[in-house]
Amino acid sequence: MREQVRQMFKSNPERLKELVRHHFLDKIRSFIDTLPEEIPSDFSSIESLTEKYSYRHSFCTYLSYLPAKSIDETLGRNMLIFIATKNPYGDIFKAFNHEASEYLFGDKNLIEQARLGIWQMRLGDNISDIEKLANLLFDTKEQYPQFFEEQFSSYLKKPSFQKKLPLFDAAIYRLESLYASAWDENYRISEYDKSVIYRVWHDGPLSVGILYKGKPIVVSSAYLKDERTLLINQFQGVNGKILENGKLKKITREDGVEVYATKPNHALGLFSWKDFFVDYFSFLAKQNGLSRIGIQGAINNVWTKPNQHTSDTHLLQGDAKRIYDDYASQRTDFYYFFGNWYKDIKK
């Protein structure tokens, strides 16, 4: 059925608008007639129009049988994103969502990644936010390696470290699920030391990092805090976890909590890595029309308190303050507001 409908409109996408307006179910046709000529980017406006109808999912399901290009050409880009982001979750809609994402962004997974990222950060389901995050993900994929190559050498702490520059590399991570490992493999074992493994956790949907000698050494994540703010909520050095007899070795922390034994990676001392990530995310935010960059303070850090993901604290409040608040307060360009630190970006 889907393929038959798709073939029907491939040669003449203008038939879509005629069909939708004149040959669809009466209530769906009435719904279409209430929409303005240009679909608003703010989903709340569409929501207000559809409150009296219980056919939103039916509407999205019907249109998802059609080619993404036809929907874009007849009903517009915002309607295409609306359908792709409002479809119920499930395998039956993946084909359309992948096609729409490929058509809009050249990557079949970006819309689903953005949708998941917005949902995981509990930010609602505004289609303009999903589109913004998809654009941020796209730009990160396309431009982060180039930014790293052009800018990274300026963050080395000493000129003598330049000889180590070829040992560093950029790393971009796919969004898998929040608070879950999301490398190409869950664990990356060093070629040089089989007794150490590396694991990275992502605290936000935008996640980038740096490798040294092919091993992960640092990761930073950010998310859309609001319509104008990109908030960094992760600065994390990655220490290898030590294996002992094939199992992760555990030690007891000062506060009595049992944790995994780690092998420090001294490459972090070679460059100003927090400055690098702040500058990259500032560049990314400005490029996408955002006007503010932020750093999450310790008081708002989910890992400093038990939560739905863990029964104990993985980060001491004092350590979080040192990593985030002390760093931000030492910079003269950030100001404190409701537990976070912000910097206005000039457009």
Structure tokens belonging to residue 122:
């509990």
Specify the higher pLDDT residue, 239 or 38: 239
Which pLDDT score is estimated for 49?
A: 41
Q: What is the pLDDT of residue 314?
A: 72
Each residue's pLDDT tens digit, 274-289: 999 999 999 999 999 9
- What is the spatial distance between Cα 235 and Cα 286, in angstroms, rounded to a whole number? 20
Residue 46 has pLDDT above 50, yes or no: no
| CA–centroid distance for 314 within its chain | 22
Q: Determine the pLDDT at residue 54.
A: 42
Using alpha carbons, select from 44, 64, 46, 51 the residue that is nearest to residue 111.
64
Q: What is the pLDDT averaged over residues 41-62?
A: 48
CA of 239: how far to CAs of 184, 282, 304, 318, in Å?
18, 26, 19, 19
The answer on pLDDT for 194 being more than 90 is no
Q: Is the pLDDT of residue 269 over 80?
A: yes
Place of tokens 């769906």: 28
pLDDT tens profile 159-174? 999 999 999 999 877 5
Instruction: Kindly tell me if the per-residue pLDDT of 23 is higher than 50.
Output: no
The answer to whether the CB of 309 falls within 8 A of the CB of 179 is yes
pLDDT attached to residue 181? 38
Of the candidates 305, 285, 307, the residue with the CA atom closest to the CA atom of residue 294: 285
**Nearest CA-CA partner of 84 in 123, 110, 106:** 110
pTM across the whole model:
0.78
Rounded distance between C-alpha atoms, residue 292 and residue 106, angstroms:
27
β-pair partners for 222: 206, 232
Note whether 313 and 306 are within 8 A (CB). Answer: yes
For residues 255 and 124, the model is more confident at 255
Residue ranges of the alpha helices (H) in 205-343? 273-287, 317-320, 327-330
Please report the pLDDT score of residue 2 as a whole number: 53
Q: Which residues fall within 8 angstroms of residue 235, CB to CB, at 6 or more apart?
A: 218, 220, 273, 274, 277, 323, 324, 327
Q: E strands within the chain?
A: 168-172, 188-189, 196-198, 206-212, 215-226, 229-237, 240-244, 247-248, 250-252, 258-260, 262-263, 292-296, 335-337, 340-344
- Rounded to an integer, what distance in angstroms lies between the CA atom of residue 115 and that of residue 130? 6
How much of the chain, in percent, has pLDDT values that exceed 90?
A: 31
Amino acid identity for residue 164 in this structure: K
Q: In whole angstroms, what is the distance from residue 66 CA to residue 202 CA?
A: 35
Find the mean pLDDT for residues 303-327. 79
Q: Which of 74, 93, 73, 92 is nearest to 84 (CA)?
A: 93
pLDDT digits (tens, 9 = 90+) for 90-148: 666 788 888 999 999 888 888 888 887 887 776 655 667 888 888 998 899 899 999 99
**What percent of the chain has pLDDT above 70?**
70
What integer best gives the mean pLDDT of the chain? Answer: 77
Cβ proximity of 169 and 322 under 8 Å: no
pLDDT value at residue 10: 61
Higher pLDDT, 340 or 195: 340
